Amino acid sequence: MYQKIGHLNDFKNNQIVTYFYDDREILTVKIQDEIFAVDNICSHAEEQLCEGAVIENEIECPRHGARFNLKTGEATEGPALLPIDTFNIKMSDNGDILIES
């Protein structure tokens, strides 16, 4: 099941937007016309990743510098070892952006 989180026109390249969805805080970011959605909480010490930096296709945690791949959720740089959750995104014919629950 998918739920609308916005319209394509709401997303600007490399701009982080967060949503509350199913009691979770989700970080979204558009990179080169692809929209990614991941858990906003770092797997290391629960910092909010939305305060971090987007570097290529990764998000860098602002607290200790761990990096996560935005497509897979994999921790690519320590100190985090565990991945973060990722969420499937699709676009409807009218440009609505939908997240899978």
C-alpha span between 73 and 100 (Å, rounded): 16
The letter for the amino acid at 8 is: L
Subset of residues 29 to 48 that bind ligand FES, contact rule: CB under 6 A = 42, 44-45, 47
Q: Quote the least distance from Cβ 60 to ligand FES, whole Å.
A: 9
The residue from 80, 84, 97, 99 that contacts ligand FES (CB under 6 A) is: 80
> Does residue 38 contact residue 57 with C-beta atoms inside 8 Å?
no
Q: Quote the least distance from Cβ 41 to ligand FES, whole Å.
A: 9
Q: Is 25 in the site for ligand FES (CB under 6 A)?
A: no
By the criterion CB under 6 A, which residues form the site for ligand FES? 42, 44-45, 47, 61, 63-64, 66, 79-80
